[in-house]
Amino acid sequence: MRLTVRGEYALRALTHLGLRYSAGVIQIPAISAAENIPKRFLEQILNQLRNGGFVESRRGVSGGYRLAKLPQEISLAAIIRHTEGALAPIGCVSENFYEKCNCPDELRCALRSVMREVRDSIAQKLEATTLADLVVRAKKLAVIKDIETDFII
């Protein structure tokens, strides 16, 4: 699995919305500025996330985006599968995006066996981690950052 810039931005935008879940809709310029994501690219990503049922949008002057579900109902695996595709490092071990491999015997391929274990570990961690977990971690890291930058001369 490789997380592209699109996938990273999608996760950051959703984390931003998760941090402000009770605030209602958040406008694209606010997300863009806070997360340093180009507006046009963010529009495309949010549109893709809306089509996947992760966010809802409201049009108009007071429009914007918000999460379509509770943060604890959205797994990182679901987000990454929607934006990136397979979690598997090679296509022949993917459960959702299987691709035939070039080895002569898939059942006896040592590389495939190891890559299946890698896929299982990645999938297990990402399925068990929700957007709510990412929000909690972001809040903790923000506190650490504030403490580190607070110094006396």
Tokens of 145: 């950052």
**CB 10 within 8 Å of CB 25:** no
Per-residue pLDDT of the chain (153 residues; tens, 9 = 90+): 789 999 999 999 999 999 999 988 999 999 999 999 999 999 999 999 999 999 999 988 888 999 999 999 999 999 999 999 888 888 888 888 888 888 888 888 898 899 999 999 999 999 999 999 999 999 998 887 665 555 555
Domain ranges of the chain: 5-149
Q: How far apart are the first and last CA of the chain?
A: 46
CATH number, domain 5-149: 1.10.10.10
**CA-to-CA distance for 79 and 131, rounded, in angstroms?**
9
For the chain, the maximum distance between any two Cα atoms, rounded to a whole number of angstroms, is 67
Its sign, for the CA torsion 116, 53, 55, 85, is positive
Residue pair 14/67 in contact by the 8 Å Cβ criterion: yes
